[in-house]
């Protein structure tokens, strides 16, 4: 493992300086190689699926584990669109003339080595490794043991196709054992960022067991707040979509907050609408005074159900809604439904979440819907990248200073003065 990480670090230095052309050629080659190896990959996946069935893996997990012709076609289509996206590396973010003949350039560059740990979905392996390649990062991958054969087949094809196109050896490596993960989480001298993909408990385990920065999110406790000035038809649609359109995902709503002024009109109709979708309601005392439902406990306000359950709370006003969200939310995605622009702006400014919405479903919080192209995941971090993270979240910058022999002593002694003139970013 130590040698693998060291090799990845060396590869990352060379990858960082690779042009867009060679990276795009490698991506095209990877898509072609994946198609050519379809038989092997699908056979490997069938072996994993058979083992999983023998081990009585639950239905939804089996579904995630499956990697068939359709999944492969989707993965290759993803690579094709990745080729079309701008290269995020080598962009000039700013140029300053410090003095005559002394120019400072702030230029984007890759982060370095990214460690990716994911649970059963093999699609994630293709998606994240190709995003790393396009952004010039080396990648160390560790998938779930239940997808062992599929992951091995995919990684082998991707790794070799990349190396055959001229990428440095070791630019991508698949870790095989659980011990490798424990070692990876300690390898902070080689690995610059960890991206975990999987369940809350899994992500939290990763976060609690490494000093390497982690990009991602554990919980997704998203709120819909219905303001007193909401259009109630719109409110009903947004609540149902946020809760029911896909319940098992991080941007689905878990708690509905309703302004006290409209409980009489809104609560009965939303109960009908949610129950039509088989949603169980867990309600606060004030809600229970209006509609019949299961009483909520304190724990409900901080529970991510990922299921057909919603907690409902009546709040006195916008301020109480904001306070509740900042206290119990997970900083992921929260939406207000209101016709009042001022209230919407207050909500969006004071709710401390990566994604704050006005009159739209929480389910829009997604890299594809945002138009970012592919995403490595959704981050609730307050550092580096937040919300849906695409290619831009996989780069940092370096400062390049281009001089003609300048020394600091001349400026310290007042012989020369800084001009600090902003220049345009074209070089």
Place of tokens 């002394």: 102
Question: Residue 106 has which token pair?
Answer: 């702030």
Residues 314-333 binding a copy of itself (CB under 8 A) are: 322, 326
Residues 217-276 binding a copy of itself (CB under 8 A) are: 231, 234, 237-238, 240-241, 245-246
Nearer to a copy of itself, 145 or 302 (CB): 302
Residues 128-157 binding a copy of itself (CB under 8 A) are: none
Task: Tell which one of 166, 248, 399, 427 touches a copy of itself (CB under 8 A).
Answer: 399
Can residue 189 be called a binding residue for a copy of itself (CB under 8 A)?
A: no
From 25-33, 94-102, 151-159, 262-270, span contacting a copy of itself (CB under 8 A): 94-102
Q: Is 332 helix (H, G, I), strand (E, B) or coil?
A: coil
Distance (Å, whole) CA 349 – CA 340: 14
Question: Residue 179 has which token pair?
Answer: 């011990």
CB of 270 to a copy of itself, least distance (A): 14
Can residue 404 be called a binding residue for a copy of itself (CB under 8 A)?
A: yes
Nearer to a copy of itself, 55 or 201 (CB): 201
Can residue 411 be called a binding residue for a copy of itself (CB under 8 A)?
A: yes
CB of 224 to a copy of itself, least distance (A): 11
User: Could you tell me which of 91, 45, 86 has the C-alpha nearest to residue 67?
Assistant: 45
For residues 28 and 84, the answer to whether their CB atoms sit within 8 Å is no
CB of 239 to a copy of itself, least distance (A): 10
Q: Taking the CA atoms of 29, 31, 34 and 38 in sequence, report the sign of the dihedral they define.
A: negative
Distance (Å, whole) CA 51 – CA 145: 11
Can residue 205 be called a binding residue for a copy of itself (CB under 8 A)?
A: no
Can residue 311 be called a binding residue for a copy of itself (CB under 8 A)?
A: no
Nearer to a copy of itself, 172 or 193 (CB): 193
CA distances from 45 to 39, 64, 141 (A): 10, 11, 18
Alpha helices in 245-314 (DSSP H): 263-276, 285-288
Can residue 371 be called a binding residue for a copy of itself (CB under 8 A)?
A: yes
**Cα Rg of the chain, angstroms:** 25
- DSSP result, 263-276: HHHHHHHHHHHHHH
CB atoms within 10 A of CB 161: 22
Task: Tell which one of 201, 211, 278, 426 touches a copy of itself (CB under 8 A).
Answer: 211
From 153-161, 269-277, 288-296, 342-350, span contacting a copy of itself (CB under 8 A): 342-350
CB of 392 to a copy of itself, least distance (A): 10
CB of 292 to a copy of itself, least distance (A): 27
For residues 269 and 324, the answer to whether their CB atoms sit within 8 Å is no
Task: Tell which one of 29, 79, 361, 391 touches a copy of itself (CB under 8 A).
Answer: 361
Can residue 377 be called a binding residue for a copy of itself (CB under 8 A)?
A: no
Distance (Å, whole) CA 182 – CA 179: 5
Q: What is the DSSP letter of 363?
A: G
Task: Tell which one of 363, 375, 377, 389 touches a copy of itself (CB under 8 A).
Answer: 363
CB of 104 to a copy of itself, least distance (A): 6
Distance (Å, whole) CA 411 – CA 26: 47
CA distances from 72 to 64, 76, 107, 158 (A): 13, 6, 35, 13
Residues 14-33 binding a copy of itself (CB under 8 A) are: 14, 16-17
Task: Tell which one of 354, 376, 389, 391 touches a copy of itself (CB under 8 A).
Answer: 354
Binding mask 44-83 for a copy of itself (x = CB under 8 A): ----------------------------------------
Task: Tell which one of 51, 169, 204, 213 touches a copy of itself (CB under 8 A).
Answer: 213
Task: Tell which one of 275, 277, 402, 427 touches a copy of itself (CB under 8 A).
Answer: 402
What residue ranges in 56-190 does DSSP mark as E strands? 92-99, 102-110, 113-118, 138-142, 172-174
Distance (Å, whole) CA 167 – CA 22: 8
Task: Tell which one of 53, 401, 425, 427 touches a copy of itself (CB under 8 A).
Answer: 401
């Amino acid at each position: 493992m130590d040698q693998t990480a060291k090799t990845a670090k060396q590869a990352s230095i060379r990858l960082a300086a690779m042009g867009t052309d060679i990276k795009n050629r490698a991506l095209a080659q990877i898509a072609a190689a994946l198609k050519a190896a379809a038989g092997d990959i699908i056979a490997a996946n069938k072996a994993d699926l058979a083992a999983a069935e023998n081990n009585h893996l639950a239905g939804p997990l089996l579904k995630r584990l499956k990697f068939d012709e359709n999944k492969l076609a989707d993965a290759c289509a993803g690579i094709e669109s990745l080729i079309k996206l701008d290269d995020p590396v080598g962009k000039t973010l700013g140029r300053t003339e410090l003095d005559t003949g002394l120019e400072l350039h702030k230029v984007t560059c890759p982060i370095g080595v990214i460690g990716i740990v994911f649970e059963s979905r093999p699609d994630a392996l293709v998606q994240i490794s190709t995003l790393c390649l396009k952004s010039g990062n080396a990648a160390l991958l560790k998938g779930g043991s239940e997808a062992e054969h599929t992951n091995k087949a995919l990684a082998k094809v991707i790794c070799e196709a990349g190396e055959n196109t001229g990428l440095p050896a070791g630019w991508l490596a698949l870790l095989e054992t659980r011990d490798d993960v424990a070692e990876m989480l300690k390898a902070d001298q080689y690995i610059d960022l960890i991206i975990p993909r999987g369940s809350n408990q899994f992500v939290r385990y990763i976060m609690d067991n490494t000093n390497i920065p982690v990009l991602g999110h554990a919980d997704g406790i998203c709120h819909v707040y219905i303001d007193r000035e909401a259009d109630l038809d719109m409110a009903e649609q947004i609540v149902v979509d946020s809760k029911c359109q896909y319940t098992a995902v991080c941007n689905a709503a878990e708690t509905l907050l309703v302004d006290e002024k409209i409980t009489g009109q809104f609560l009965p109709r939303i109960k009908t609408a949610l129950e039509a979708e088989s949603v169980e309601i867990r309600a606060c005392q004030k809600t229970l005074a209006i509609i019949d439902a299961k009483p909520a406990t304190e724990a409900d306000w901080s529970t991510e159900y990922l299921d057909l359950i919603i907690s409902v709370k009546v709040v006195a006003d916008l301020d109480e809604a904001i306070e509740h969200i900042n206290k119990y939310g997970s900083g992921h995605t929260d939406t207000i439904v209101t016709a009042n622009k001022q209230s919407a702006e207050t909500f969006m400014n004071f709710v401390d979440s990566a994604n704050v919405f006005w009159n739209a479903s929480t389910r829009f919080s997604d890299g594809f819907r945002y138009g970012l192209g592919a995403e490595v995941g959704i981050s609730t971090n307050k550092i580096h990248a937040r919300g849906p993270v695409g290619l831009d979240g996989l780069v940092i910058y370096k400062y390049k200073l281009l001089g003609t022999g300048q020394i600091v002593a001349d400026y310290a002694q007042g012989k020369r003065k800084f001009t600090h003139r902003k220049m345009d970013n074209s070089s």
